[in-house]
Amino acid sequence: MKTQSVDPSYKYFRSQEDDETIIFVIRKHWTHLIFPIMFGGLIMAIMIGLQFLISYFASDGLDSLAQVIITCIFSLIYLYILLYIFISWLLRYLNVVILTNEHLVEIQQLGLFSRKVSELDLDSIEDATSSQHGFFATMLQFGDVLIQTAGELPNFNIQRIGDPEEVQQKVMEVKEIFMKTNHFNGNGDIARQDSLTENISNNNQANN
């Protein structure tokens, strides 16, 4: 599972506690960028070919002002294509899934000025399943992870990430550690420790 290197001093989301440990930070699989790069490259190749044809066949019939305008138009198109590819990369970079020893957080950068943050306590996780569909997903090791939650909480559907099976296993492993460490019972409530129960019983006997 390829994860981003974690900086312990960096606060990855607003509600992160000071003593909260980051387990992993993952992003969408690199194949998420294939379409923007291929589409942008195709449009750019067409524009370069069109500009070459205009300059080769029609340059003699155009005055200097028209040539400058055409050059500016093509330059703006090239700039737009590069900006489109850069924004696609930036959105992928800003879309992250963060697993801590207490929470599972998904940050979705829907646009340059649109962001959605979903946070789930580990004790709310009922189950996690991974899925890979198709030849390329299997060969390139990417797919989806569905986190099923308790009660009325919405499920987490983490799409198009690398090594989904490992991510699913890690989420459940950290969840089990969290439940044991915090002494949760099957109903999601914190169970009383045996020592505390014994102390209460001893106090009641002494009072009687």
Residues 86-127: tens digit of each pLDDT = 999 999 999 999 999 999 999 999 988 999 999 999 989 999
- pLDDT digits 0-9 by tens, 130-169: 999 999 999 999 999 999 998 777 888 999 999 999 999 9
Query: How many CB atoms lie under 10 A from the CB of residue 99?
Result: 21
Asked whether residue 200 carries a pLDDT value surpassing 70, the answer given is no
Can you give the pTM of this predicted structure? 0.77
Q: Note the pLDDT of residue 2.
A: 64
Q: Where are the alpha helices (DSSP H) in the chain?
A: 34-57, 64-94, 135-139, 164-181, 194-207
Q: CA–CA separation, 12 vs 117, rounded Å? A: 11
Q: Note the pLDDT of residue 71.
A: 87
Q: Note the pLDDT of residue 34.
A: 95
Query: How many CB atoms lie under 10 A from the CB of residue 57?
Result: 9
3-class DSSP state for residue 127?
A: strand
